[in-house]
Amino acid sequence: MIYSTGSYPKFLNAVDINGDGKPDIIVVNYVSNNVGVLLNTGNGTFSAQTTYLTGTGPFGLAITDVNGDGKPDIIVVNSGSNNVGVLLNIGSGTFSAQTTYSTGSNPGCVAAADANGDGKTDIIVANLASNNTGIIFTGQMTYSTGSYP
């Protein structure tokens, strides 16, 4: 089986994002400037991709629960925009628009781990043109909840 993606798929991961116990496909489409989500429909078949806008030149991704709600979220490095985008899983395999955080120049790789031992997942970014690695501590982030949370 072959499934269509955006232009120049650069990186992918397979993780159950909608809680049905089956691995779904998340792909970074570099030239299309988006992330595609292909939900596993069973028997090795997948839905057509649903896309979510990213910054310029998405290059890599990590999948982890960023906000502690038990659902896997998407972290994407936007190499041309010099930032990382966090797309929160809002349920049923759908995601919010990205919230961006500045990085060094030309971020190329991203990982997620609890770097400071506070029990929250942090974002670790390798910045290719800056020749450095940066850590974004998610325990210090706030997320929009809408009106009157």
Residue 46 covered by a domain: yes
> Looking at the 3D structure of the chain, how many domains does it have?
1
Give me the DSSP letters along 94-109: EEPPPEEEE-SSSEEE
Whether residue 142 is predicted with pLDDT greater than 50 in this model: the reply is: no
Residue 3 covered by a domain: no
Residue 100 covered by a domain: yes
User: Judging by DSSP bridges, how do beta strands 99-102 and 34-38 pair with one another?
Assistant: unpaired
Q: What is the per-residue pLDDT for 91?
A: 93
Residue 67 covered by a domain: yes
Residue 149 covered by a domain: no
CATH number (domain holding residue 53): 2.120.10.30
Domain that holds residue 94: 9-139
Express each pLDDT in 88-140 by its tens digit. Answer: 999 999 999 999 999 999 999 999 999 999 999 999 999 999 898 888 887 65
Q: What is the pTM of this model?
A: 0.91
